[in-house]
A and B are shown apart, each in its own frame.
Chain A
Amino acid sequence: MSQTHGSYGTAKLGMWLFLFTEIILFGGLFVLYAVYYYFHPQGFASASHELSLGFGTVNTLILLTSSLFVAASLSALQKGERRLTLLLLSGTILVALIFLVNKYFEWSEKFAHGIYPNGPAMPNLAPGEVVFFALYFVTTGLHGIHVLIGGVLLTVIAFGVRRGSIHQGDYVKLENSGLYWHLVDLIWIFIFPLYYLIL
């Protein structure tokens, strides 16, 4: 428990503590979701119908797959398989891009129908639907920002692996970035049923 344990465990503990704050950050939005769902179950159900289940499911599947890539990339690096690590990381970054592109199409489709904060379609909706979309945009927007940050982080790490500054003997940066990416996945695991499936 002293300095002799080195900075590996210290860095990882720090990262986990940071992830706890992220959980609470999204937790605040889940508090709002729970209360507003309780107030407007009908409005939430009908607004949820408007979301595309296809987009949601595909995004869930690819995000879970990207988590597999990241997790496996750490094992690969630990075993010294540098090429495989890079391959897996590239896969993850690619998935991050696909996710964001999907999200872009999903949002633009809503925008095209006038469904966006203060948009032309909003006054015709029931209060429960309006607040559902408000929460939807804030939550998925915040999540999207996290996907972006995670993607950039992993790109930097991939260059580190390529350059050799992150290697079999010093991989905590990869592990921590991986943890961050898994958290992004974790949050989505809850966003998906709450916004797309509750119908």
Chain B
Amino acid sequence: MVQQGHIVPYRTFILVWLTLMVLTVVTVAVSRLDLGAWKIWTALGIATVKSALVVFFFMHMKYEPLYYRIYLYLTLVILAIFIGLTFSDVHYRMTP
């Protein structure tokens, strides 16, 4: 049986790759600035955008059925719960 997946044009991939390259340079550059507490959030924000590009284009998530995306978000929500609820303990510890 012939497998029929979506064929993504090279052009799209190259554009995504260029964006990723630029974002990497940006995140390194931004890390040289003195942003205080925002530093980590900027770095993570850029990383999130980069990973979204990889997931949606390189990994074809954009072209998969809806429930793939729902499951991906479910996984991320679970991970966020693991981190977030752990902080309900450690953030309020009296003796860290």
Contact = CB atoms under 8 A, between A and B. Distances in A.
A34 B28 contact: no
Contacts of B14: 68
A112 interface: no
Nearest to A172: B3
Nearest to A78: B7
Interface of B: 1-5, 7-10, 13-14, 16-17, 20-21, 24, 27-28, 31, 39-40, 43-44, 46-47, 50-51, 54-55, 57-60, 64, 68, 71-72, 75-76, 78-79, 82-83, 86-87, 90-91, 96
A199 B39 contact: yes
B54 A197 contact: no
Contacts of B46: 193
A161 to B, nearest CB: 14
Category for how many chain A residues contact B: 35 or more
A169 B16 CA distance: 27
A172 B86 CA distance: 39
Nearest to B14: A68
Majority SS of interface residues in chain A?
Answer: helix
Interface of A: 6, 8, 12-13, 16-17, 20, 23-24, 27-28, 30-31, 34-35, 37-39, 53, 57, 60-61, 64-65, 67-68, 70-72, 75, 78-79, 169-172, 175, 178-179, 182, 185-186, 189-190, 192-194, 197-199
B1 A6 contact: yes
A137 to B, nearest CB: 21
B8 A31 contact: no
26 contacts: A6-B1, A8-B4, A23-B75, A23-B79, A24-B79, A38-B90, A38-B91, A57-B28, A60-B24, A61-B21, A64-B17, A68-B14, A68-B17, A71-B58, A72-B10, A75-B13, A170-B3, A171-B3, A175-B60, A182-B55, A189-B51, A192-B47, A193-B40, A193-B44, A194-B43, A197-B39
